[in-house]
Structure 1
């Protein structure tokens, strides 16, 4: 009889654990699928940004995330070989990212100039954002 009670208690514990796991898993989404319109961050980092005149005005160096959403792109302006670069955060809506199926290449365009980016408020990799 004692063995039966221990076995019954163990079975109850296992079934309640399994029920709580399935309830937890079903209430929140864990896995998602990438859609054909999605963009990987690795496709954006180091991507040249051009204006409508096809002038290179900067390069996407990083992505700012806020509450799971893209809050901005960190774009470098100026500098040479990593020296003297000026970083600014631009709105994602200001940068148009495209993929050309024909060329198999990503491109980014923004309606501004290199001088305007250099004059924008600077972002510095320091404090919590230090690399």
Structure 2
């Protein structure tokens, strides 16, 4: 049992924190942490063919992400989103071949997976 912000939650045993996966070309990836399908339209994920190979990894303490021409740390985003602390070390980020974070999936406490989702985090 864990308390975060104004809710209590019960969860399954802890999954190991810290991961890294590499996609050399548009493909599907189903991991214990997330599901990703980049075989179709990816402009909503800020991914272009020039970004490959992509690294999808857990967020790190000093990661920075550019949003609308200003830089924000992943840590600050997670706090702003009121993300539970136990998720922050295993939340995925997409990094392009130059080592720049090009996408961080948005956390929403009321998120529901639908058949149209090409990227979702397994909580």
Shared fold, TM over 0.5: no
Q: Which has the higher contact order (CA 8 A, sep 6+)?
A: 2
Q: Name the larger-Rg structure.
A: 1
TM normalised by structure 1 equals 0.28
Q: TM-score, normalised by structure 2?
A: 0.29
